[in-house]
């Protein structure tokens, strides 16, 4: 980086922090109707910042649910790539309030951390990209690439509007790469690129064995109990080692390369860590895969909810005629949610004995798993950017959950998605005392600048 940019970034820190604190004071909780005006206010506050940064076409996108904000800077020229930056300015609720050391919407610096709801997720990580653009335009008068921002206001409440908006505005949002900072790195000095997320299929299973609940005195022993029938079906979906027994379930699962497995083996996470976090007596699952692989690169079948019969206080000697389960599969590349739905449904139907009727109702469309191969050029640009700022090569991580917007961007815009996080594992996301480690806020601004430079192929350093 040039001296003038370095000096600018050094000098700007107090102002950048004060601005972020101002944004964090707006309680933009998107799931609570009474905070709807705050979500809108967080949007208009961001728009003012974007204008101040020098972005063009700053636009409030009103939707049926919560607003989005768009802005761009497209003067790098047609031979330069376009980077689409996504973020969100809505935040999670704050309960339980008494557990916060300082109030969630009074951003407070303690030590090297800034405490506030949204500090890390995702106002802080969104704002650092605005500050990167501002720094470049203030010092160089131009960006090395074209940039578009799309920032939503309901990531914490379903991302409804953006799912419709992106496909309908594919040309407007066209880009060479999408950049998202809504994840965490491994440790303050160890950057990480999240290159894979699992997909999902969910369903409700209903087992019926009679047309009404029966008295166990009169019918016990001669009518199949629906709870028992459900347990007997569900128990057949895994073998004793935790492998899923649904025929064909693993057919399309991406095979990990030896290089990838060896990279994953280097991550500082394993059985000791998962046991400490969960309190489980011992780990579970496919013995031929590591904990990191099982939770990131292998599919699952979970019983998220299960119920039937009398579940209140006391006792009722009923034979339930129906029992229910909510099940879900975490999917990996290249599993097709619709095919998984078919396989699981067919398997349960085939397992059901003549005493049992089983129904499987898919409860949402299901999402494909996400993967950006880590030899993709955009991922490598992100890696070089991290390396320059953190003076440390990033590690490559997988996450077991999904981020809905990643699927939308990938499937609609057909761009690689780079998940370049600056949070930390202990940021207390969705919990009391959410924080952002401030050194990484400032490093994030520099890394964002470095990434834009790397994407341009125009390293302006030195």
Considering the complex, state which of residue 54 and residue 242 has its C-beta at the smaller distance from a copy of itself: 242
**CA-CA distance, 173 to 183, in Å (whole number)?**
22
Considering the complex, state which of residue 1 and residue 207 has its C-beta at the smaller distance from a copy of itself: 207
- Of 444, 264, 454, 459, which is closest to residue 378 (Cα–Cα)? 454
Q: Quick one: tokens of 33?
A: 């109707």
CB 216 within 8 A of CB 317: yes
Quickly count: other Cβ atoms within 10 Å of residue 101's Cβ: 10
Q: Are strands 177-180 and 192-197 parallel, antiparallel or unpaired?
A: unpaired
* Catalytic site residue from 121, 154, 155, 427: 155
Active site residue 155: yes
**CA-CA distance, 460 to 462, in Å (whole number)?**
7
Least distance (Å) from a copy of itself to the CB of residue 205?
A: 11
**CA-CA distance, 373 to 369, in Å (whole number)?**
13
Considering the complex, state which of residue 102 and residue 236 has its C-beta at the smaller distance from a copy of itself: 236
**CA-CA distance, 238 to 321, in Å (whole number)?**
25
Least distance (Å) from a copy of itself to the CB of residue 351?
A: 11
CB 143 within 8 A of CB 437: no
Least distance (Å) from a copy of itself to the CB of residue 211?
A: 3
Least distance (Å) from a copy of itself to the CB of residue 310?
A: 4
Active site residue 90: yes
Considering the complex, state which of residue 207 and residue 420 has its C-beta at the smaller distance from a copy of itself: 207
Q: Is 79 exposed, middle or buried (0-12, 13-18, 19+ CB in 10 A)?
A: exposed
Considering the complex, state which of residue 88 and residue 298 has its C-beta at the smaller distance from a copy of itself: 298
CB 378 within 8 A of CB 84: no
Query: Does the bond joining 96 to the residue before it have cis omega, within 30 degrees of 0?
Result: yes
- Of 460, 448, 451, which is closest to residue 16 (Cα–Cα)? 448
* Catalytic site residue from 19, 38, 72, 90: 90
Least distance (Å) from a copy of itself to the CB of residue 323?
A: 7
Considering the complex, state which of residue 160 and residue 326 has its C-beta at the smaller distance from a copy of itself: 326
Least distance (Å) from a copy of itself to the CB of residue 232?
A: 4
Catalytically active residues are 90, 155
């Amino acid at each position: 980086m040039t001296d003038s940019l370095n000096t600018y970034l050094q000098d700007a820190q107090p102002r950048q922090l004060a601005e972020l604190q101002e944004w964090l004071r707006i309680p933009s909780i998107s799931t609570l109707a009474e905070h709807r005006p705050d979500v809108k206010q967080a949007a208009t506050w961001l728009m003012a910042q974007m204008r101040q940064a020098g972005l063009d076409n700053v636009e409030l996108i009103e939707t049926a649910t919560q607003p989005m904000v768009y802005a761009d800077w497209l003067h790098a020229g047609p031979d330069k790539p376009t980077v689409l930056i996504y973020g969100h300015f809505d935040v999670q609720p704050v309960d339980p309030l008494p557990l916060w050391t300082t109030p969630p919407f009074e951003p407070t610096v303690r030590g090297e951390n800034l405490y506030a709801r949204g500090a890390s997720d995702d106002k802080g990580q969104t704002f650092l990209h605005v500050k990167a653009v501002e720094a470049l335009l203030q010092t160089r008068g131009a960006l090395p690439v074209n940039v578009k921002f799309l920032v939503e206001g309901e990531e914490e409440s379903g991302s409804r509007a953006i799912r419709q908006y992106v496909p309908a505005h594919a040309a407007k949002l066209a880009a060479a790469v999408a950049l998202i900072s809504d994840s965490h790195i491994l440790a303050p000095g160890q950057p990480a690129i999240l290159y894979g997320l699992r997909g999902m299929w969910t369903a409700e299973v209903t087992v019926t064995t009679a047309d009404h609940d029966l008295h166990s005195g009169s019918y016990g022993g001669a009518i199949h109990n629906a709870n028992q029938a459900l347990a007997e079906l569900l128990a057949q979906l895994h073998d004793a080692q935790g492998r899923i027994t649904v025929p064909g379930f693993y057919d399309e699962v991406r095979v990990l390369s030896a290089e990838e497995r060896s990279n994953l083996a280097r991550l500082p996470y394993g059985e000791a860590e998962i046991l400490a976090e969960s309190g489980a007596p011992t780990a579970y699952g496919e013995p031929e895969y590591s904990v990191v692989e099982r939770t990131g690169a292998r599919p699952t079948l979970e019983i998220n909810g299960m119920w039937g019969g009398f579940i209140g206080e006391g006792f009722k000697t009923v034979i339930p005629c129906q029992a229910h389960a909510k099940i879900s599969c975490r999917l990996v590349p290249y599993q097709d949610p619709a095919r998984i739905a078919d396989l699981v449904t067919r398997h349960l139907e085939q397992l059901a004995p003549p005493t049992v009727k089983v129904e499987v109702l898919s409860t949402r469309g299901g999402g494909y798993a996400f993967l950006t191969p880590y030899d993709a050029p955009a991922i490598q640009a992100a890696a070089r950017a991290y390396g320059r700022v953190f003076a440390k090569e990033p590690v490559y991580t997988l996450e077991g959950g999904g981020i809905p917007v990643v699927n939308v961007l990938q499937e609609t815009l057909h761009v690689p998605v780079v998940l370049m996080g600056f949070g930390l594992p202990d940021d207390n996301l969705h919990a009391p005392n959410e924080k952002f480690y401030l050194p990484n806020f400032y490093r994030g601004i520099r890394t964002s600048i470095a990434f834009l430079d790397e994407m341009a192929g125009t390293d302006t350093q030195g």
